């Protein structure tokens, strides 16, 4: 990184070099819009910012030999405002979810000359988990069809907004049959806690924040849409064409941020909690082995197909202009960055993590407040471990289990538990738990009842 002007001037004066003879350094402004409260943007946002990864990778040779970089980070609650600031030329880079990405590209293409390019992903969940619809924990609503005639809030323009529209379309609930309110994630979560809204649709990790804090309960998970959930990076095309090596540096930083998280998830979630205020136990649900997110920046063919499908959802709602995907999406910067790093791009692009397959057989986990994470290979061992801990009155930070149907990682306390004979199974959705119980001569039980079955007397 080059010295700032004032310090350079002082050094020049000290060596008696006339300032008029000094070469004029170019200052390159890099303004990035990110979301510190959206977990799937962390590898292109808060992690890069706090670890200084962009500074590490910025070019310093060739035409950049005398460049000075002025890097600024602007934090937003959702993706929509980032697009507005990019249109106003106040941001060069934007990090956002699938639906906001599409809106970004379409809004820029709607102008006479301004354009963005979609240059990299950040992370994904193949099943679509990450978005969810939540109701107050004491609500009697358990399925999306019960939302007819109800008030439902969402950050309009966000990934969760798009998922909500898709979910309602799938369940034949037109917008005229429910009241849609535009509420930011924090406001929506507060209204759920206070019982002031019937339901709130939000993106990662807000649903799990509400679950962890005991204020909300999921009735619909994004995995039910059958469309992958992904986030990515857009750059103003004029900036990318002028400074392609800076875009490549940003992608290298995204890649390294993902490697840093994978290297030590516990360290990562502890650090990220201090940066964002999101509880580490919630972040662990996303970033641990078997967690919701796969961190990887390649642009897969399946992602393009998903984005095109999502664009169609918004077109059906008359909520978006046309979008030329071929002009908008480019892998050129990714491929150049991977080549510089000596990493095979095509290998990453070909990888696909399906939670139903990848998470099969992963152990259940108990996060003890003193002893950290312990793993358990069976539900019986897990429940016995919980019973033993409760007998000592020790504190448990969180517990983690897996949905039998999708393989998605869940909080043990919010999963639906089924006891069938001597076995227990865990589910994301109440309906699937009830169906499993009926087919296996079992019954749906509470988490506490499941633990009590393994408690010892005396």
Q: For position 24, what pLDDT does the model report? A: 58
Q: For position 329, what pLDDT does the model report? A: 98
> Is residue 14 pLDDT above 90, yes or no?
no
Residue 457 domain flag? no
Closest CA to 91 of 74, 79, 106: 74
pLDDT band with cut points at 50, 70 and 90 for residue 161: very high
Same domain, 120 and 240: yes
Mean pLDDT is lowest, of 17-26, 319-328, 345-354, for 17-26
Q: By residue range, what is the domain housing residue 167? A: 132-225
**What interhelical angle do 159-170 and 98-109 show, nearest 10?**
100
How many domains does the structure of the chain reveal?
A: 3
- Assign residue 208 the CATH number of its domain: 3.40.190.10
Same domain, 339 and 239: yes
Query: 3-class SS at 159?
Result: helix
Same domain, 346 and 369: no
State which H helix or E strand residue 451 sits in: helix 447-452
Same domain, 338 and 306: yes
**Residue 286, Ramachandran bin (φ over 0: left; ψ between -120 and 50: alpha; else beta):** alpha
Q: Which structure tokens are listed for 43?
A: 């590898």
DSSP 129: B
- For the stretch 64-89, pLDDT in tens is 999 999 999 999 999 999 999 999 99
Same domain, 157 and 71: no
Answer whether the bond into residue 69 is a cis peptide, omega within 30°: no
CA-to-CA separations, 408 to 173, 222, 420, in angstroms, rounded: 27, 11, 21
Query: 3-class SS at 257?
Result: helix
Q: For position 456, what pLDDT does the model report? A: 77
Same domain, 240 and 339: yes
Q: How many alpha carbons fall within 13 Å on the CB side of residue 325? A: 13
- Mean pLDDT within 332-339: 98
């Amino acid at each position: 990184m080059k010295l700032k002007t004032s310090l350079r001037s002082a050094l020049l004066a000290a060596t008696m070099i006339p300032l008029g003879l000094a070469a004029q350094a170019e200052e390159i402004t890099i303004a990035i819009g990110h979301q510190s409260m959206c977990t799937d943007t962390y590898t292109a946002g808060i992690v890069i910012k706090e670890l200084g990864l962009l500074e590490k990778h910025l070019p310093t040779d060739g035409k950049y030999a005398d460049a000075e970089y002025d890097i600024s980070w602007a934090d937003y609650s959702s993706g929509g405002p980032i697009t507005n600031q990019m249109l106003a030329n106040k941001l060069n880079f934007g990090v956002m979810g699938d639906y906001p990405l599409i809106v970004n590209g379409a809004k820029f293409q709607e102008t006479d000359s301004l354009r963005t390019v979609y240059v990299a992903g950040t992370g994904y969940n193949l099943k679509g988990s990450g978005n969810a619809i939540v109701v107050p924990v004491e609500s009697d609503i358990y399925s999306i069809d019960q939302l007819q005639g109800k008030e439902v809030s969402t950050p309009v323009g966000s990934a969760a907004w798009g998922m909500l529209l898709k979910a309602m379309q799938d369940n034949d609930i037109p917008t005229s049959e429910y009241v849609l309110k535009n509420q930011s994630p924090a406001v929506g979560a507060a209204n759920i806690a206070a019982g002031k809204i019937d339901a709130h649709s939000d993106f990662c990790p807000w649903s799990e924040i509400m679950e962890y804090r005991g204020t909300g309960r999921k009735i619909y998970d994004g995995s039910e849409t059958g469309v992958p959930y992904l986030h990515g990076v857009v750059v103003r095309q004029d900036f990318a064409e002028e400074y392609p090596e800076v875009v490549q540096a940003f992608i290298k930083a995204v890649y390294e941020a993902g490697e840093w998280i994978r290297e030590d998830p516990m360290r990562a979630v502890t650090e990220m909690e201090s940066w964002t205020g999101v509880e580490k136990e919630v972040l662990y649900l996303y970033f641990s082995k078997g967690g919701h997110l796969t961190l990887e920046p390649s642009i897969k063919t399946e992602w393009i197909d998903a984005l095109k499908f999502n664009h169609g959802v918004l077109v059906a709602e008359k909520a978006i202009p046309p979008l030329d995907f071929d002009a908008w999406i480019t892998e050129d910067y990714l491929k150049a960055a991977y080549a510089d790093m000596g990493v095979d791009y095509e290998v990453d692009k070909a990888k696909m993590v399906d939670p139903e397959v990848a998470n099969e057989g992963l152990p259940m986990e108990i996060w003890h407040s003193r002893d950290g994470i312990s793993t358990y290979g069976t539900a019986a061992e897990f429940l016995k471990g919980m019973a033993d801990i409760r007998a000592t009155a020790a504190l448990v930070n969180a517990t983690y289990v897996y949905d039998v149907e999708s393989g998605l990682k869940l909080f043990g306390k919010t999963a639906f538990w089924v006891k069938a004979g001597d076995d227990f199974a865990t589910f994301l959705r109440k309906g699937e738990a009830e169906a499993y119980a009926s087919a296996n001569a079992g019954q749906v039980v509470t988490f506490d009842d499941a633990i009590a079955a393994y408690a010892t007397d005396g």
